[in-house]
Amino acid sequence: MAEKIKLSNVLVSEQVPAHLARGVIEERLRSAILDGRLPPGTAVRQQELATLYGVSRMPVREALRQLEAQSLLTVEMHKGAVVAPLIGEDAVDTYELRVLLESEALRQSIPLLEPEDIASARGYIEQLENETRHAEIGRLNRLLHMALYSKASNQKLLRLIENELNEEERFLRFHLSSMGLGKLTQDDHNALVDAASDKQVELAVSVLEQHLNHGARVIRTYLDKQAAR
């Protein structure tokens, strides 16, 4: 069963400086979860991680809290931290919230975007075209969207969006596996950047909404099928 997987069989043992431990452990676990090496239900034990990385339990606890906040881990009675299901009921809520937040950020940002912002966004799309690693797809997707929103004046809005984009990474593997794909098409992203480049604010917002609503529909269809079983 997934929860009996030993972390030492998945994660490379390494000595980590104490001041870097939380970030390193968080990133190693995040990549393993997003890539499927630690499947849903896998127990993530603090002492095992502390031993693997040669640190105390304190930075391990902090890393696990961060991953729980990103919905990558859940805490279960008598088990402690376990890898969360790949998809859940809150996924549709996440997409609906993203539509609201990101549409506003796009409206604020597009009039102020510089040619170098558009060039950065196109560069991320180019990398996404050739990337198949789920964790890296998630990182590039986040950077692409944030490049387009970067000139928004509301910094709290940008922080909220980045949090939601971090959570979005756990959905990518679901999307790819559910559609039998190694990677996602970049058609929507290209259309979004084209509209932003031309300063067509409402067209860009429309493309973004269609893009996010498609993701929500895929998830809702899957959840409805699961509930009907």
pLDDT, tens digit (0-9, with 9 covering 90-100), for 66-123? 999 888 899 888 788 999 887 777 788 888 899 999 999 999 999 999 999 999 999 9
At residue 1, does pLDDT exceed 70? no
Least confident of 35-44, 171-180, 198-207: 171-180
Beta bridge partners of 199: none
Measure the CA–CA gap between 212 and 97, rounded to whole angstroms.
10
Measure the CA–CA gap between 113 and 61, rounded to whole angstroms.
40
Contact 92, 216 (CB under 8 A): yes
pLDDT at 57: 94
pLDDT at 192: 97
Share of the chain above pLDDT 90, in %: 55
**Radius of gyration of the chain measured on its C-alpha atoms:** 19
User: 0.85 cut: is pTM over it?
Assistant: no
Sign of torsion over alpha carbons 188, 182, 132, 222: positive
Higher-pLDDT residue of 152 and 177 is 152
